[in-house]
């Protein structure tokens, strides 16, 4: 992966996290008119899934040669931010509800059965089959449950003995259920993009055309809100119960189309900046380090922003007619996410080393 393309992926990752934040800030409790389409944040998660598949395929190919090293890295990455996110969500919800009980009673109904919610969140089982257990007010957490399922499927495909791979994949699929599996092709497309050698050989001129066409397609997809239209068609084809219980996967047709557009965008940009000689390639080369630094807060922004948005919306009273309170709440949520991220993002390596000391010797003894 070249520095130019790596910088581009980091930039997309950061922009997707900010898009999710702005989508959740589009609340009538914060501003009285709609700023963004409702689908804006969900579409950004499609970017995350495709990026995740691509990056996981890369690290498995280059760095993580065994299932043990793969899972130690995954647990260290996820739990280093997920655990603080759950603690922050509980703290914000409890303090916010004490200061403004009316806001939380009227807007959030996810504080019952807290032990069940916490256990499901810690085990990433919130979205298995047709279950949907919200981790208190932190709805973006749903995508982590999908991610962990895809990590499991990929680890079986990449590391399991060939003779048992099919059986293990079938058992994993039975555990995960159709709701998560229906979006698995999007994550798998990221893996395909990394391994697809023919796409990597695309020349820069057609790459530039493909990239521009994909940008136009993505803009049209969002402007026309095709996700909403395709979701309405899906709802008409499925039973009301099934459509409702697909929950975050019910927009799958639009998600598939958007994923193809994003995949084309990846292929085109990778070809455009491959040799680093183009002006855009040179720019991405110069911006590689600052983009990587900013993108290092992406996971924290994604997991911390919503309970913070709820909290600041609840405690900072003001008019919803103008932009003053809106900008204040969004700015505080973003600043607090970055500040907390400056601590949590540094815990991945220590946690990884601790897991290596605790888990790897036990795995070796179990295998021996």
Contact 81, 299 (CB under 8 A): yes
Q: Which band of pLDDT confidence, cut at 50, 70 and 90, is reported for residue 155?
A: very high
CA dist 304 and 340 (Å) reads 8
Q: Which band of pLDDT confidence, cut at 50, 70 and 90, is reported for residue 93?
A: confident
| Per-residue confidence (pLDDT) for residue 86, from 0 to 100 | 92
| Per-residue confidence (pLDDT) for residue 146, from 0 to 100 | 95
Q: Which band of pLDDT confidence, cut at 50, 70 and 90, is reported for residue 277?
A: low
DSSP state string for 269-328: HHHHTTTS-SHHHHHHHHHHHHHHHHHTTHHHHHHHHHHHHHHHHHHS---SSSSHHHHH
Torsion angle of C-alpha atoms 206, 210, 216, 220, degrees rounded to 10: 150
Q: Which band of pLDDT confidence, cut at 50, 70 and 90, is reported for residue 362?
A: low
Cα–chain center distance at 49: 6
CA dist 125 and 133 (Å) reads 8
Cα–chain center distance at 10: 13
CA dist 347 and 59 (Å) reads 19
Q: Which band of pLDDT confidence, cut at 50, 70 and 90, is reported for residue 169?
A: very high
- Taking residues 325-353, report their average pLDDT: 89
- Taking residues 46-64, report their average pLDDT: 90
| Per-residue confidence (pLDDT) for residue 190, from 0 to 100 | 94
| 209-244 pLDDT tens trace | 999 999 999 999 988 888 888 988 999 888 899 988
CB atoms within 10 A of CB 195: 13
Lowest mean pLDDT among 111-120, 144-153, 249-258, 308-317: 111-120
| Per-residue confidence (pLDDT) for residue 117, from 0 to 100 | 85
Contact 264, 272 (CB under 8 A): no
Triad 40, 41, 42: Cα angle to 5°: 95
Tell me how far CA of residue 301 lies from CA of 44, 208, 237, 258, 307, in angstroms: 13, 31, 36, 23, 11
Q: What is the pTM of this model?
A: 0.88
More confident residue, 12 or 199: 12
Let me know if 4 is exposed, middle or buried by CB neighbors in 10 A (0-12, 13-18, 19+).
buried
Q: Which residues have C-beta within 8 Å of that of residue 194, sequence separation ≥ 6? A: 53, 54, 57, 58, 61
Helices marked H in 26-66 — which ranges? 40-62
CA dist 56 and 70 (Å) reads 9
């Amino acid at each position: 992966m070249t520095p130019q393309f790596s910088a581009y992926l980091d930039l997309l990752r950061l922009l997707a996290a900010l898009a999710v934040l702005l989508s959740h800030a589009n609340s009538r409790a914060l501003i009285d008119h709609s700023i963004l389409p409702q689908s804006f944040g969900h579409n950004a998660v499609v970017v995350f899934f495709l990026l995740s598949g691509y990056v996981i395929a890369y690290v498995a190919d280059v760095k993580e040669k065994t299932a043990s090293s793969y899972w130690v890295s995954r647990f260290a990455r996820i739990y280093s931010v997920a655990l603080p996110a759950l603690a922050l969500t509980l703290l914000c919800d409890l303090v916010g509800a004490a200061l403004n009980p009316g806001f939380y009673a009227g807007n959030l109904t996810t504080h019952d059965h807290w032990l069940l919610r916490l256990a499901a969140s810690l085990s990433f089982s919130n979205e298995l089959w047709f279950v949907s257990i919200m981790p208190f007010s932190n709805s973006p957490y749903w995508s982590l449950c999908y991610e962990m399922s895809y990590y499991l499927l990929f680890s079986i495909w990449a590391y399991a003995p060939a003779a048992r791979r099919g059986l293990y994949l079938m058992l994993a699929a039975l555990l995960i259920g159709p709701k998560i599996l229906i979006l698995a092709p999007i994550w798998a497309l990221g893996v395909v993009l990394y391994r697809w050698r023919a796409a990597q050989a695309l020349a820069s001129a057609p790459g530039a055309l493909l990239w521009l066409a994909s940008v136009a397609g993505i803009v049209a997809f969002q402007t026309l809100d095709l996700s909403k239209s395709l979701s309405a068609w899906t709802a008409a084809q499925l039973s009301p119960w099934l459509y409702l219980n697909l929950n975050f996967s019910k927009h799958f047709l639009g998600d598939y189309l958007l994923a193809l557009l994003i995949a084309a965008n990846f292929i085109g940009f990778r070809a455009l900046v491959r040799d680093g000689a183009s002006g855009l390639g040179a720019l991405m080369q110069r911006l590689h380090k600052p983009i990587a630094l900013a993108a290092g807060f992406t996971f924290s922004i994604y997991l911390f922003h919503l309970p913070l948005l709820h909290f600041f919306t609840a405690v900072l009273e003001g008019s919803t007619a103008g932009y003053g309170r809106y900008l204040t709440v969004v700015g505080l949520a973003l600043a607090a996410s970055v500040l907390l991220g400056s601590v949590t993002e540094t815990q991945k390596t220590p946690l990884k080393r601790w897991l290596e000391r605790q888990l790897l010797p036990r795995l070796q003894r179990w295998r021996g």
